[in-house]
Amino acid sequence: MKTIFDKETRDGLITRINSVNENSQPQWGKMNVYQMLKHCTLSDEMYLGITHYKRAFIGRLFGKVALKGMLKDDSPLAKNNPTVPQCKVTEPGGDVAAQKQQWINLVEEYGRTPKTDFEHTFFGKMTREQMGQLAYKHIDHHLRQFSN
C-alpha cells in the first residue's frame, strides 16, 4: 500500500499539488480550492504533531474500527467523508499559491520526521505505517476531488 513516507510517492503527490491552481474546481463536496489546500495543511500539521487536538469522544468509541476499514486495502477514500472540526475551513479564500507552498513543505516534512508514533483526533494513536498510509490516502482523496 502507498505511504507518504516513500520519497517517490511524496514526489508524485507534490507534482499533483503543483498542478492545482486558482481555477481548479471540485468534482464533489463544498470546499473551493483554497479551502481544500488549507484543510490539507491543517490535517498534515495534526498528523505530523505540529498541532495537537483533544481526542474526540466519538473517536474513542469508533476510531480504531473506522481506521481499520480505511486502511484495509488500496481503495481511495470515499467521497464526502466527515472531517474533524479542527480541520474545517470556513473562510472563503486566500492566497492559493502561498497555501499550496505551505502544504508542499509539510508533505516534504514527512521525509524528514523521525516520529514512529502519531495521534489523530478521531483515530487515536497510530503507528508510522498507519499514518503513512492514511496521510497518502487523505492527500490523494483531495487531489482527486480537484481532478489531480
Count of domains forming the chain = 1
Question: Is 13 a member of any domain?
Answer: yes
Closest CA to 59 of 138, 123, 128, 9: 123
> Tell me: the pLDDT tens digits for 29-63?
999 999 999 999 999 999 999 998 888 888 888 98
pTM assigned to the model:
0.94
Structural domain including 16 reads 7-145
- Whether residue 28 is contained in a domain is answered as yes
User: The domain that contains 35 carries what CATH number?
Assistant: 1.20.120
Give dist(CA 118, CA 16) in Å, integer. 25
Q: What are phi and psi of 24, to 5 degrees?
A: -65, 135
In a domain, 78, yes or no: yes
Mapping DSSP to helix (H, G, I), strand (E, B) and coil, where does residue 6 land?
coil
| Distance (Å, whole) CA 126 – CA 69 | 14
User: Is 2 domain-assigned?
Assistant: no
Please indicate, yes or no, if residue 44 is contained in any of the structural domains.
yes
56 occurs within a structural domain: yes
